[in-house]
């Protein structure tokens, strides 16, 4: 254990160490995605999901006037399935293909190796720094990216604020609450905290990345599409969770061997993006987004002449994506653009 006895560390630094330590980190030393891993993402559930994203990308590009050069940037590509399917299908859209620079922003060397092996196409590059993106319109796709970034948590008890830490007490990890000041929290999140807000869950790293992306969109045109599980409430909740082998895991157990994640507060993200001078932010559920993109019609087309067993498998997978009791309502979709784009496909 990296945390010495009786020493403590802020929650976000603990999460960062567990997930992204260069040698032991959860995302740095294994592939957690897939039915043999700890969780499954939408692109791995159904190929049609990636097809819907591609159609959305092409439509966005056309809405901008079909620029001769555009960056398509996937943030955290996991096992590379979505980008693989997009590049596999894009050969049917020659003009868009020739205009697009495909980019994957990936921190994990381990996952990057998997992606490179899987995505054997010419017009794709990997980057470690978002600021190095070339100077042309850029569309950012973030599917289950922001939920994996480390978070801080603050709690109000009897009008006093405390920050959540992790402490190693006699070789046993526990939560520890360190007193802090309201002014320091407000300075960190760069906004006033309402009196009825008794809990703050916030990712400084997510905010930094949103600021960089927003500046690129503002300067070069383009957009950001976030697809993630989360909620709209103005009040923040404690959504910290851990998953191992597709089941819930106690956060302080199976260190380095289990995923640590949280639900995105989309209302907070919307405010952050608007504060960074991006004019238009639209929100919907994954269900509504995929239905408006024509996922059911696409499922019908590709399964038309299939035997019943294969057809039912296609619809079973689609249902998982759009069913309100499964991913349909839990997952939300956010689109941030300059208002002049006037683009609302899927919203």
In tens, the pLDDT along 275-333 reads 888 989 999 999 999 999 999 999 999 998 889 889 999 999 999 999 999 999 999 99
Q: Residue 219's CB: how many other CB atoms inside 10 A?
A: 11
CATH code assigned to 37-149+205-341: 3.40.50.12710
What mean pLDDT is predicted for residues 243-247?
88
Tell me the pairing of strands 241-244 and 199-202.
unpaired
User: pLDDT of 147-184, one tens digit each?
Assistant: 999 999 999 999 999 999 999 988 888 999 999 999 99
Q: Across residues 224-239, what is the average pLDDT?
A: 95
Residue 211's pLDDT band, with cuts at 50, 70 and 90, is: very high
Q: 3-state DSSP call for residue 185?
A: helix
- Yes or no: say if 171 and 50 are a contact pair by the CB < 8 Å rule: no
CA-to-CA dists, residue 181 to 139, 152, 188, 230, angstroms: 38, 14, 11, 28
HSE on the CB side for 277, CA within 13 Å? 9
- The 10s digit of each residue's pLDDT in 111-139 is 999 999 999 888 899 999 998 898 899 99
Q: Which residues contact 313 (CB under 8 A, 6 or more apart)?
A: none
| DSSP sequence for 240-300 | -EEEETTEE--TTSSTTTSEEE--EEHHHHHHHHHHTT--EEEEEEHHHHHHHHTHHHHHH
Domain boundary assignment for the chain: 37-149+205-341
Sheet holding 247-248, edge to edge: 247-248, 241-244, 259-261
pLDDT at 1: 62
Q: Residue 203: is its pLDDT beyond 70? A: yes
Is 340 or 24 the better-scoring residue by pLDDT? 24
Query: Is the pLDDT score of 340 beyond 90?
Result: no
pLDDT, greater one: 212 or 36? 212
Q: How far apart are CA 248 and CA 204, in angstroms?
A: 25
Q: What is the mean pLDDT of residues 89-103?
A: 93
User: Which of 1, 14, 4 lies closest to 175 in space, CA to CA?
Assistant: 14
The 10 Å CB-count burial string (b at 16+, else e) for 315-345 is eebbbebbeeeebbebbbbbbbbbeebebee
Distances in whole angstroms, Cα of residue 211 to Cα of each of 139, 175, 216, 220, 332: 15, 31, 9, 14, 21
DSSP state of 57: H
Q: What is the pTM of this model?
A: 0.94
* Contact criterion met (CB below 8 Å) for 199 and 154: yes
Distance separating alpha carbons of residues 264 and 293, to the nearest angstrom: 23
């Amino acid at each position: 254990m990296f945390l010495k006895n009786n020493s403590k560390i802020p929650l976000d630094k603990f999460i960062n160490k567990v997930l992204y330590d260069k040698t032991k980190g959860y995302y740095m030393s294994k592939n957690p995605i897939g039915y043999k891993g700890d969780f499954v993402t939408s692109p791995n559930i159904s190929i049609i999901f990636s097809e819907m994203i591609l159609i959305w990308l092409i439509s966005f590009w056309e809405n901008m006037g079909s620029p001769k050069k555009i960056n398509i940037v996937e943030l955290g590509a996991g096992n590379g399935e979505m980008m693989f399917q997009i590049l596999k299908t894009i050969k049917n859209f020659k003009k868009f293909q020739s205009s697009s620079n495909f980019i994957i922003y990936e921190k994990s060397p381990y996952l990057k190796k998997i992606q490179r092996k899987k995505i054997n196409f010419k017009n794709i590059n990997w980057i470690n720094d978002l600021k190095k993106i070339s100077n042309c319109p850029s569309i950012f796709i973030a599917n289950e990216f922001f939920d994996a970034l480390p978070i801080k948590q603050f709690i109000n008890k009897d009008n006093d604020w405390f920050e959540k830490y992790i402490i190693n007490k006699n070789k046993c990890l526990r939560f520890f609450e360190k007193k802090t000041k309201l002014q320091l929290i407000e300075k960190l999140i760069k906004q006033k905290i309402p009196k009825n807000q008794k809990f703050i869950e916030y990712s400084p790293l997510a905010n930094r990345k949103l600021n960089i992306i927003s500046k690129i969109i503002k300067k070069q045109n383009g957009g950001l599409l976030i697809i993630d599980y989360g909620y709209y409430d103005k009040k923040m909740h404690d959504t910290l969770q851990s998953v191992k082998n597709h089941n819930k895991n106690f956060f302080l157990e199976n260190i380095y061997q289990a995923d640590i994640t949280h639900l995105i507060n989309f209302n907070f993200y919307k405010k952050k993006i608007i504060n960074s001078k991006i004019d238009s932010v639209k929100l919907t559920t994954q269900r509504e987004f995929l239905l408006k993109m024509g996922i059911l019609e696409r499922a019908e087309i590709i399964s038309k002449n299939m035997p019943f067993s294969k057809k039912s498998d296609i619809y079973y997978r689609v249902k998982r994506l759009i069913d309100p009791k499964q991913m349909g309502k839990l997952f939300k979709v956010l689109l941030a653009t300059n208002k002049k784009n006037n683009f609302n496909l899927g919203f």
